[in-house]
Structures are given as C-alpha cells and as structure tokens.
C-alpha cells in the first residue's frame, strides 16, 4: 500500500526537510523550499532480479517507420494568437498564459471564447462571478453564442460539467484558484497547482479538448507555483507590457508545436484587446518637424521587425549627483553607453541628468537599439534634431565600435517599407548584404565615425 506524506524540498539543491525552512541548510539559498507530496511504497524495494514485462501498448519504433498524420489545427479567430501558437491550436494541447495582474489575461481569454461562434467554449472562472463576466462580455461584444460561463473552483465539479457539456475549448481562469478534493492544502499551494494541472492535462489528452490555463506571476516575473507547471503544459505564453500603457505584447516562451520566437502586439481599448498588425506605424509619431532627442531604432523582437521611437532628454544636473532614469531600457546599459560616448566621442555627460524613454511603454532588449539610444542622447545634448527619414540599427561595444546585428536585411526592408530614406548600420554588416532598393544604408565601424557621418 502506497503511503502519501508531505515533505519540503529545496528547489536549488533538492534537500529534503520535514518542516518548511527559510534558508536551506545544505546550499544556503533563501526561500527555496516548496511543499511536495511524496508517495512512499511500503513494498520491499531494492534491485532484485532484472526482469520486466512491458505494460501498455507503447513500444520502441525506428524513427523512419513512424508515420505522421497532418495535425488538424483549430483556428481561434484571432490572427495574432493563431500565429503565436504556430498556426492554430492543436487538439488536446494545454496552453498557459502568464502575466501581471491587470494586464488583460482574462480579457484575452474571454475574447477568444466570445469571438468565435463556431467553438463551444467553457469559460471557468474562480476569480469572478458569472455576472461580472457577463458585464465584461457585453463590453467586448461578439456573438457570444457557444460560450458557457462557469464560476467554480472545485476541479472535480469543473471536469464533471466539462464531460457533460463536451466543449471544444476550456478556459481556466486561473490555475491558482483551483482546488482538488484529493489534496488537503489550500488553493494556490504547490501541490494543488501541480495536481490540478496534471488532472486538466489528462482530461485534455484523453478527450482531445484544448485547455487554456491562466497563471499569475510573482513579483519576480515568474509564473507563481511550481516550475513543473511550465514543464507540464505544451505552450507557455507571456503577456507583457505596462498596465498604464495601452500596448501589450503576447509572446510564447515555450511551444511544442511551433517556434517560440513569435510575438503579437495588442492594444487595450475600451472594447477589449485589438490586434496591432503593423506595430511600427503606431510606435512612431509622424511629426511635421523633427525634434531633438528623438531617434528611431530598427528593432526586432522575436522574428518581427518593427521601428520604435527612442526619446532622450539631457539636461544640466540640478543636484550634485546627476540622475539617470529609463523606461523600457536597461539603466546599466544606458550608463555604459554614456561612458562610451564620454570616452570615445568626447561628449561631456558626467554632470548631466539623462532620461530615456522607449515609446509606447514597451520593453526592448534587442541590442540593436544601442545606436539609436546613443544618437538620441547626443541629439538632446546638442539640441539638434536628427534629420527626418533616418533610422538606426547597430549595437555599440565598449571600445566604441559599431557592432553588427542579426537579420539586418529584415530591418532594412521594414525601414524601407515605412518610407525611411537612410539607415545607419555597422560596417561589419556590409558583407553579404542584399542591395536595398530606395533606402540608403550608411555604414560605419566606430561610433565617432558614425556621428561624423550623421552630423556632417
């Protein structure tokens, strides 16, 4: 007879303890203990004679003899989400959507359920009442035919309703509110989350019904609960952005049925999320006259090129220590770029306040925006606008070298498509470059050379 007991394990080194501990006595890490259920077999273990009989039908097959049936994919009626999933939802798959509170996870899931009248969807919410969801559904519009709302947190009840209703899609908002009768601990605990996720997965695989699961994230930005949740599911999507801004990025960080480099951009409007199919057009302000401190970067996030506006403000520091502040950009990287400009290009920035902002509230980690950041800072410092129609795509190294960036062709063609006349890139990107059409590509190998070409 198997006995179940509770134990606590360090997630860093696997140390087991009967009680929860703040600090692991073995590896010294803090806050790494999680509760787990351990099944202990009372039967005599140990290695006996090694003789096993296979159980079940699975057996090893030569890889070339395995035939693949084309996977039927379900389209969700949202071009962006379908694309991120790799061309639609695979039957029986489990998709996890993570994101900060208020970012729009529930809105996205409900919108998917409402906007596709061909799908019968069971929308289970443990967070909101059916009336609250109805109010939201009215704001979102859509036919709403085939969308069933269930306000429930007990997993067994949810599955019983699902078996009866036989929906084509189940949405669970959120996994942290679910509880299974079999586990004693409270909803949101590690063992509850794991057990509920595993049961939902079993349901999904057995019935072929895809399941969307919403997950909360902790303040460090990881999905709350055990890491195993991300291992269990087939697709993990992160919903990012600043809830104060209107733009949101949906990105897949794991996908068993497609590439993970896909991302989609959404705009939060009064009537729900709107897909932004051409992000560059909204991320750049089309001004009549150019302003100082603004530079356009040809950036790529995942596989999608888009042009983004970088705004900088440089002013004389009022207090002794100059302030450096950024939104959407790594402040250490800004400090590094300022040091490079000071040392290599002879600009005196040590006694200046520098503020940097990426338009639209987006966070960009593409190193190719370095050059645009440097140019925006200098433009503000000199109070000299960058000529209209110019954009930038290069990384800046510590010694002031202008470094090449990946997929320059794609960046150039996106800039060209949007009507830019000139793009500044690294001289090391010149080799093997396709001849661009109407856009002029300016190459330089050093930051001082680049600025010279820009300001001449």
Contact with ligand TYD (CB under 6 A) among 27, 222, 271, 339: 271
Q: How far is the CB of 3 from Mg ion (least distance, A)?
A: 38
Contact status: 177 vs ligand TYD (CB under 6 A) = no
Question: What is the CA angle 330-332-335, rounded to 5?
Answer: 115
Verify binding: residue 106, ligand TYD, rule CB under 6 A. yes
Angle between helices 331-344 and 370-382 (to 10 degrees): 60
- CB of 173 vs ligand TYD, minimal distance in Å: 7
Q: Which of residues 294-323 bind ligand TYD (CB under 6 A)?
A: none
What are the start-end ranges of the E strands in 164-271?
Answer: 169-173, 211-216, 235-241, 247-255, 263-269
- For 4, 159, 171, the CA distances from 105, given in Å and listed in that order, are 35, 22, 11
Among 32, 78, 107, 326, the residue binding ligand TYD under the rule CB under 6 A is 107
The contacts of residue 269 (CB under 8 Å, 6+ apart) are: 246
Task: Find the binder of ligand TYD among 86, 88, 98, 104 (CB under 6 A).
Answer: 104
DSSP string, 407-447: THHHHHHHHHHTT--EEEEEGGG-TTPPPPSS-EEEEESBH
Partner touching 421 among ligand TYD, Mg ion, none, CB below 5 to 8 Å by kind: none
The DSSP bridge partners found for residue 150 are 124
How is residue 185 annotated by DSSP? S
Task: Pick the binder of ligand TYD from 24, 32, 34, 105 (CB under 6 A).
Answer: 105
CA dihedral 419, 425, 431, 432 (to 10 degrees): -30
Interface mask (CB under 6 A) for ligand TYD, residues 44-83, using x and -?
----------------------------------------
d(CA 239, CA 162): 27
Report if residue 136 touches ligand TYD, rule: CB under 6 A: yes
Which among Mg ion, ligand TYD, none contacts residue 189 (Cβ within 5 to 8 A by kind)?
A: none
Q: Which does 346 bind (CB under 5 to 8 A by kind): ligand TYD, Mg ion, none?
A: none
Q: Which does 104 bind (CB under 5 to 8 A by kind): ligand TYD, Mg ion, none?
A: ligand TYD
- Smallest distance, ligand TYD to C-beta of residue 104, A: 4
- Measured between alpha carbons, how far apart are the two ends of the chain, in Å? 83
Residues 292/384, Cβ–Cβ less than 8 Å = yes
Q: Choose the binding region for Mg ion from 104-112, 282-290, 310-318, 401-409 (rule: CB under 5 A).
A: 104-112
Residue indicated by tokens 């009989």: 53
**Secondary structure percentages of the chain, helix, strand, coil, to 5:** 30, 30, 45
d(CA 205, CA 201): 6
Q: Which of residues 239-268 bind ligand TYD (CB under 6 A)?
A: 268
> Per-residue string for binding with ligand TYD, 84-103, x by CB under 6 A?
---------------x-xxx
268 touches, from ligand TYD, Mg ion, none (C-beta below 5 to 8 Å by class): ligand TYD
Least spacing, CB of residue 105 vs ligand TYD, in Å:
3
Is residue 291 within 8 Å of residue 332, measured between CB atoms? no
Among Mg ion, ligand TYD, none, what binds residue 339 when CB lies within 5 to 8 Å by partner kind? none
Residue 270 binding result from ligand TYD, Mg ion, none, given CB thresholds of 5 to 8 Å by partner type: ligand TYD
Options 115-123, 134-142, 176-184, 400-408: segment touching ligand TYD (CB under 6 A) = 134-142
When asked if residue 106 is in the footprint of Mg ion (CB under 5 A), the reply is: yes
Is residue 139 a contact point for ligand TYD (CB under 6 A)?
A: yes
**How many residues make up the chain in this entry?**
456
Would you count residue 117 as binding ligand TYD (CB under 6 A)?
no
Residue 101 Cβ vs ligand TYD, minimum distance, rounded to whole Å = 5
Binding at 379: pick from ligand TYD, Mg ion, none (beta carbon under 5-8 Å per type): none
Rg of the chain over all Cα atoms, to the nearest angstrom: 27
Closest residue by Cα to residue 269 from 143, 141, 117: 141
Residue nearest to Mg ion (CB): 106
Alpha carbon 132 to its chain centroid, in Å, reads 27
Contact at 8 Å (CB) between 423 and 441? Answer: yes
β-strand partners of 276: 265
Positions touching Mg ion (CB under 5 A) are: 106
Positions touching ligand TYD (CB under 6 A) are: 99, 101-107, 136, 139-140, 268, 270-272
């Amino acid at each position: 007879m198997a006995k179940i007991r509770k134990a606590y394990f360090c997630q860093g080194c696997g140390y087991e303890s009967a009680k929860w501990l703040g600090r692991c006595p073995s590896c010294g890490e803090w806050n790494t203990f999680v509760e787990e259920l351990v099944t202990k077999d009372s039967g005599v273990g140990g290695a006996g004679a090694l003789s096993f009989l296979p159980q079940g039908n699975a057996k090893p097959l030569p890889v070339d003899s395995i035939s693949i049936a084309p996977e039927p994919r379900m389209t969700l009626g949202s071009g962006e989400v379908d694309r991120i999933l790799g061309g639609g939802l695979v039957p029986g798959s489990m998709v996890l959507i993570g994101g900060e509170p208020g970012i729009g996870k529930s809105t996205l899931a409900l919108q998917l359920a409402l906007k596709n009248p061909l799908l019968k969807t069971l929308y289970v919410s443990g967070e909101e009442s059916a009336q609250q969801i109805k109010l939201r559904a009215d704001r979102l519009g859509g036919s709403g035919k085939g969308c069933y709302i269930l306000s429930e947190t007990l997993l067994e009840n949810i599955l019983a309703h699902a078996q009866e209703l036989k929906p084509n899609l189940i949405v669970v908002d959120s996994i942290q509110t679910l509880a299974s009768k079999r586990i004693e601990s409270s909803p949101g605990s590690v063992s509850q989350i794991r057990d509920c996720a595993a049961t939902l997965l079993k349901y999904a695989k057995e019935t072929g019904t895809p399941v969307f699961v919403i997950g909360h994230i902790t303040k460090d930005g990881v999905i709350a609960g055990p890491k195993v949740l991300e291992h269990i599911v087939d697709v993990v999507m992160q919903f990012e952005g600043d809830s104060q801004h209107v733009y949101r990025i949906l990105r897949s960080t794991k996908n068993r049925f497609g590439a993970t480099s896909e991302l989609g951009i959404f705009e939060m409007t009064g009537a729900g999320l709107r897909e932004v199919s051409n992000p560059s057009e909204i991320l750049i302000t089309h001004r009549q006259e150019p302003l100082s401190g603004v530079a356009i970067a040809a950036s790529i996030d995942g596989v999608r090129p888009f042009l983004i506006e970088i705004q900088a403000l440089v002013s004389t520091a009022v207090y002794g220590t100059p302030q450096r502040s950024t939104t959407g950009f790594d402040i250490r990287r800004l400090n590094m770029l300022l040091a490079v400009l000071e040392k290599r290009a002879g600009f005196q920035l040590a006694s200046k306040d520098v503020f940097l902002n990426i338009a639209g509230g987006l966070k960009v980690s593409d190193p190719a925006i370095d050059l645009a950041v440097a140019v925006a800072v200098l433009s503000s410092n000199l109070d000299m606008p960058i000529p209209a129609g110019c954009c930038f795509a290069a990384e800046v190294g510590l010694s002031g070298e202008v470094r090449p960036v990946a997929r320059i062709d794609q960046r150039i063609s996106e800039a060209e498509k949007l009507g830019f006349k000139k793009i500044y890139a690294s001289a090391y990107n010149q080799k093997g470059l396709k001849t661009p059409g109407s856009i002029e590509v300016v190459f330089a190998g050093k930051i001082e050379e680049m600025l010279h070409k820009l300001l001449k």
